Structure 1
Amino acid sequence: MKVKNKNPAPLQIIAEQIIREARELQRAERLAVRTPRQKIVDAGELADYRFRKRKEFEDQIRRSQRNNINVYIKYAKWEESQKEFNRARSVFERALEVDCRNHTLWLKYAKFEMRNKIINYARNVWDRAVSILPSVDQLWYKRIHMEEMLGNVAGARQIFERWTDWMPDGHGWLS
């Protein structure tokens, strides 16, 4: 069979365009298949929902051999959304037992405390973070910034002095 017209088509479609359209279609299908929202009408149903959700998170933690810090963070955020601050704190502490050298985990933990205006707990978290990871400047910056936001300039200066006392000679912009 011979091709009669060898001229290019007026509308050219490239592989990237086909792949992009396929991804958009998949994304639209995923959004359309969302599970229906559950209406909770009494305390018993709420307790059942929370129990199921906690079991899902605990199963995810077990399946990931406790190494996936993101599961812990999602779990803690969910507990926070349920106004279960002690449980969220407990989840963060469990995550720190797995990886206390993860500065992102410390940041999220402290921000959780600050977001919920639990200032003394936030100070405790920041102090623990900078004592375990003193070389992570971001933890010091955030700790000082929190005190400045609270209007505690003297406290911010004390923390800054602690930080500069810790710094070895020739460290960064302070030398």
Structure 2
Amino acid sequence: MTHGDPDGDAPPPSEPSRRLRMMLAVTAAALVIGAAASTSVLLLAGYRYVPDRKFEVAVFLEPDISAEDKAVIRAELDEFPDGGAVRLETRDEALARVKETWKHQPDRVEGIQLESMSESFRLISVAREFDCGPVPEIRELAGVERVWIAMRPAGGRYGAELSC
């Protein structure tokens, strides 16, 4: 017996509202089953999310490099795949970075002279994996002393130095 119905004869739900509820229930069940099935297929196929990583590229320059050679190297680095802004690190900035890195062990850097530091172009490439394709061409350019590439640590994963 319901509160507003003294006879206990409540009218049955109307046919359209009953159909609507049934259609909503079937739609919700289909969505849940579809999501579970697609997730299962992806997991069984071996899918896993591979996050983007940051790769630091440093091109160390020879001490007697000309301005023209610097411009050519910078132009090549501007075309680097997935690369960000290219910046020039001067000898002073390089020495300051080394001193900052080893500030807890000052005896390791006390004898480093400014003249022993190299200027370098640096950029950060962000991608799932590093493309070594342009590296040999950059390495062969006039004025390039060496190319150094490092994958930065991220998300509990270790970093690494890469060789191309």
TM-score by length of 2: 0.24
Structure number having the greater helix percentage:
1
Higher gyration radius (CA) = 2
TM-score by length of 1: 0.23
Structure with greater contact order relative to length (CA < 8 Å, sep ≥ 6): 2
Structure number having the greater strand percentage:
2
